[in-house]
Amino acid sequence: MGKRLSKIYTRTGDDGTTGLGDGSRVPKTSARVEAMGEVDELNSLIGLMMTESLPDHIDDFLVLVQHTLFDLGGELSLPGQVLVNSERIVAVEKMLDSLNESLAPLEEFILPGGTRAAAHCHVARSACRRAERALVSVDDGHAISDISRQYINRLSDLLFVMARSLNQVAGQPDILWQHSKSQAK
């Protein structure tokens, strides 16, 4: 494979536009570019999460997630292309089921937090939800694939369960939301 980036700055975006992978130029404020940025931020947050000490099976899975998110960014950069396949959804669902198996059923909402790793996971989860909203808002005549939208939706569920699992592995209980504390004076 040849070099993809031989020069980092090109000055072509100085006018407020950016180039997509198909060669077209769009405003940097377009919904497609916003979605690309949200997916990129999510990928970065997962990278940050991976700087924590994580169980090997979670760390290994997050590497696959990062590659999938990069593919999703490629889909966004190449309107009409589909680079994420349904097997990626199945993999997320299997990991979700595996992690959820040992967790107690939730009887109350939980607050983000617990261990540092779980807190990073919750930040990634909320960014994932934002990325999902951005994907849904892309309406430029080139729809985002159903598979990609489903993937990002399942991923946010996985990140929620993963945060709970990380807390459990560390012996940190979930932090339950208590309505009475929000009413305290």
Torsion, CA 112, CA 137, CA 26, CA 39, rounded to 10 = 30
| Residue 129 φ/ψ, nearest 5 degrees | -65, -40
**For the chain, which domains are there?**
26-170 (1.20.1200.10)
* pLDDT > 80? residue 6: no
Mean pLDDT, residues 101-116 taken together = 94
Q: Is 45 helix (H, G, I), strand (E, B) or coil?
A: helix
Rounded (10°) CA dihedral 32, 34, 35, 36 = 90
Largest CA distance in the chain: 63
Identify the CA nearest to 154 among candidates 73, 86, 96: 96
| Residue-wise pLDDT tens digits, 120-168 | 999 999 999 999 999 999 977 777 899 999 999 999 999 999 999 999 9
Residue 184 has pLDDT above 70, yes or no: no
Q: In the predicted model, is pLDDT for residue 76 greater than 90?
A: yes
Whether pLDDT at 12 is above 90: no
